[in-house]
């Protein structure tokens, strides 16, 4: 148990946070539990056993329940340069669906916005399937439609590597932000009623997507670049653009996205380790083996990002996307049980419960409802699009960039 939780359980703010989360839906925008299971057991759910606490990682059924999570977005994540990406994407979607079926007493599939309050009433954890990175569509819109049929309701356009149709924030630009196929992809996601996620997209690509999209978009796991200049974080102008279009930015727990000093130390060590590396690739590279002692990220520092996003975007355009991935976490945000402590800290900092209820989940639910409404309208207006595959762009990436740094 983290120190913040031990302290938090003893005060009135913690009790108020628990009461809040009993009433308000808590929707976490991103969790890489399926990838953790894939790495640990090759996708064998019985071998992993989600019903027990896993001290070696951060997410399991007992801690999701302790965290009072109403809906968890489960990411079908895969690295940008993995072999056979179309197959791996389907394997990851299949793993999430098997989780839902194997633990049907715990998880309720979320396939439409109305399922979220239903899961709350039933006391179940909603499972909303996302795909992190469209590399598995292999430049065709048909797989996107099949992902939708399988239950995918949120798609992160790219991961750490740029794709021929969308540029990543941690790679060299190869498509000028968003290519013609990228525009077609955005239109098809809109028609299908799938939420578009711009975490990992470059600011230029993200801005182009907001301009092209008929629906509001989200950044499901990104922090404020103004507080920590990691390239994965959102600049204030992008935060304002997303908010003006009705979308939300969901603050995340990744330590190097929270603590500017921590990120600066990591960046300098990487540059020393790989002096000839392109600056655009630094953030996506594996950490060098000689990082040594580093300053921690903390729960209060995370709350500063939430407060900055509220200041820039307004309280209707902020959410939480923890991005638990089995790696190091901030002090006070160690695992999926921490959400009452997080909201207790925000209460201590003076935030009202109406605002916190919106941040916990009401903002995401509003976006999902709007995306569905726009999708129904567009589906009546047009037929499924058939577009040729994009021309494959030529690019070179160093071997160390292939590993999926957050």
DSSP β-bridge partners for residue 219:
249
Q: How confident is the model at residue 194 (pLDDT cuts 50, 70, 90)?
A: very high
Find out whether 122 and 107 touch, Cβ atoms under 8 Å.
Answer: no
CB 177 within 8 A of CB 187: no
> Does position 124 have pLDDT exceeding 70, yes or no?
yes
pLDDT at position 401: 37
pLDDT at 8: 45
Whether residue 361 is predicted with pLDDT greater than 60 in this model: the reply is yes
Phi, psi of 131 (to 5 degrees): -115, 125
What value does the mean pLDDT of the chain take? 93
Q: What is the mean pLDDT of residues 2-31?
A: 82
Q: Is 225 one of the annotated active-site residues of the chain?
A: no
pLDDT of residue 280: 79
Q: Which of 58, 132, 335, 345 is catalytic?
A: 132
Catalytic residue flag (residue 200): yes
Is the pLDDT confidence value at 360 over 60?
yes
The span from the CA of 292 to the CA of 251, in Å, is: 27
Q: Percentage of the chain with pLDDT > 70?
A: 93
What integer pLDDT is reported at residue 76 of this predicted model?
98
Q: Which of 54, 148, 183, 221 is catalytic?
A: 221
Q: Is a pLDDT exceeding 50 seen at residue 340?
A: yes
- The three-state DSSP-derived secondary structure of the chain is CCHHHHHHCCCHHHHHHHHHHHHCCCEEEEECHHHHHHHHHCCCHHHHCCCCCCCCCCCCHHHHHHCCCCEEEEEEECCCCCCCHHHHHHHHHHHHHHHHHHCCCCEEECCCCCHHHHHHHHCCEEEEEEEECHHHHCCCCHHHHHHHHCCEEEEECCCCCCECCECECCCCCCCCCECHHHHHHHHHHHHHCCEEECCCECHHHHHHHHHHCCCCCEECCCCECCCCCCCCCECHHHHHHHHHCCCEEEECCCHHHHCHHHHHHHHHHHHHHCCCCCHHHHHHCCCCCCCCCCCCCEHHHHHHHHHHHHHHHCHHHEEECCCECCCCCCECCCCCCCHHHHHHHHHHCCCCHHHHHHHHHHHHHHHHHHHHHHHHHHHHHCCCCCCCCCCCCCCCCCHHHCCCCC
Q: What integer is the mean pLDDT of 15-31? A: 98
Catalytic residue among 28, 30, 54, 345: 30
Q: Is 70 exceeded by the pLDDT of residue 6?
A: no
Q: By mean pLDDT, which of 48-57, 206-215, 277-286, 301-310 is the weakest? A: 277-286
Q: Catalytic: which of 54, 148, 159, 308? A: 159
- Of residues 389 and 378, more confidently modeled: 378
- What's the pTM value of the predicted model, to 2 decimals? 0.93
pLDDT of amino acid 314: 98
Distance of alpha carbon 83 from the chain centroid? 23
Among this protein's residues, is 30 annotated catalytic?
yes
Specify whether the CB–CB gap between 210 and 182 falls below 8 A: no
Question: What's the confidence (pLDDT) of residue 395?
Answer: 43
Cα–Cα distance, 145 to 285 (Å, whole number)? 32
Residue 348 pLDDT greater than 50, yes or no: yes
159 is catalytic: yes
% of the chain with per-residue pLDDT over 90: 86
Concerning whether 132 is annotated as a catalytic residue, the answer is yes
- What residues contact residue 212 under an 8 Å CB cut-off, 6+ apart? 178, 183, 186, 187
Checking if the pLDDT of 68 tops 50, the result is yes
Whether pLDDT at 170 is above 80: yes
What burial class does residue 311 get, using C-beta atoms within 10 Å of its C-beta: 0-12 exposed, 13-18 middle, 19+ buried? middle
Position 337 pLDDT exceeds 70: yes
Domains of the chain: 3-259+296-389 (3.20.20.140)
With a CB cutoff of 8 Å and minimum separation 6, the contacts of 19 are none
Q: Out of 148, 183, 200, 308, which one is annotated catalytic?
A: 200
Least confident of 22-26, 181-185, 339-343, 401-405: 401-405
Rounded to an integer, what distance in angstroms lies between the CA atom of residue 341 and that of residue 284? 31
Look at residue 75 in the predicted model and tell me its pLDDT: 98
**Is the pLDDT at 396 greater than 50, yes or no?**
no
Residue 4 confidence (pLDDT) above 80? no
- Mean pLDDT of the region 317-329: 97
224 touches 309 (CB < 8 A)? yes
Report how far residue 48's alpha carbon sits from residue 54's, in angstroms, rounded to the nearest whole number.
9
Instruction: Decide if pLDDT at 406 tops 80.
Output: no
Question: Does the annotation mark 323 as catalytic?
Answer: yes
Which among 32, 167, 171, 197 is annotated as catalytic? Answer: 32
Whether the per-residue pLDDT at 2 is higher than 50: the answer is no
CB-count burial class (<10 Å; 0-12, 13-18, 19+) for 228: buried
| 221 a catalytic residue | yes
Half-sphere exposure of 369 (CA within 13 A, CB side): 10
Q: Residue 183 — pLDDT band, cuts 50, 70, 90?
A: very high
């Amino acid at each position: 148990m983290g120190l913040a939780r031990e302290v938090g359980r003893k005060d009135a703010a913690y009790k108020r946070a628990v009461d809040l989360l009993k009433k308000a839906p808590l929707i976490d925008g991103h969790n890489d539990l399926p990838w953790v299971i894939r790495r640990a057991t090759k996708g064998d759910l019985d071998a992993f056993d989600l019903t027990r606490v896993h001290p070696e990682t951060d997410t399991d059924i007992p801690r999701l329940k302790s965290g009072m999570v109403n809906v968890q977005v489960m990411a079908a994540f895969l690295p940008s340069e993995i072999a056979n990406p179309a197959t791996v994407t389907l394997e990851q979607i299949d793993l999430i669906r098997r989780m839902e079926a194997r633990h049907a007493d715990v998880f309720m599939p979320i396939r439409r916005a109305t399922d979220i309050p239903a899961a709350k009433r039933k006391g179940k954890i909603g499972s909303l399937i996302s795909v992190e990175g469209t590399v598995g569509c292999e430049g065709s819109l048909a797989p996107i439609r099949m992902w939708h049929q399988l239950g995918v309701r949120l798609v992160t356009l790219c991961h750490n590597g740029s794709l021929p149709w969308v540029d990543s924030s941690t790679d060299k630009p190869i498509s000028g932000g968003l290519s013609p196929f990228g525009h077609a992809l955005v239109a098809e996601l809109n028609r299908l009623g799938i939420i578009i996620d711009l975490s990992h997209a470059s600011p230029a690509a993200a801005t182009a997507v907001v301009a092209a999209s008929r629906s509001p978009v989200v950044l499901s796991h990104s922090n404020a670049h103004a507080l920590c200049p990691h390239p994965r974080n959102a600049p204030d102008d992008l935060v304002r653009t997303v908010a003006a279009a009705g979308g939300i930015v969901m603050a995340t727990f990744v330590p190097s996205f929270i603590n500017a000093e921590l990120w600066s130390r990591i960046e300098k060590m990487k540059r020393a380790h790989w002096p000839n590396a392109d600056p655009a690739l630094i953030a996506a590279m594996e950490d060098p083996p000689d990082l040594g002692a580093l300053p921690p990220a903390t729960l209060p520092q995370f709350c500063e990002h939430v407060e900055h996003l509220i200041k820039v975007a307004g309280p209707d355009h902020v959410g939480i996307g923890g991005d638990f991935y089995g790696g190091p976490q901030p002090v006070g945000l160690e695992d999926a049980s921490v959400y009452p402590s997080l909201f207790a800290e925000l209460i201590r900092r003076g935030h009202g419960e109406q605002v916190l209820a919106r941040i916990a989940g009401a903002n995401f639910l509003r976006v999902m409802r709007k995306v569905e409404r726009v999708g129904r309208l567009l589906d009546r207006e047009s037929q499924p699009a058939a577009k040729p595959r994009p021309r494959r762009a030529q690019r070179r990436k160093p071997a160390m960039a292939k590993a999926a740094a957050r």
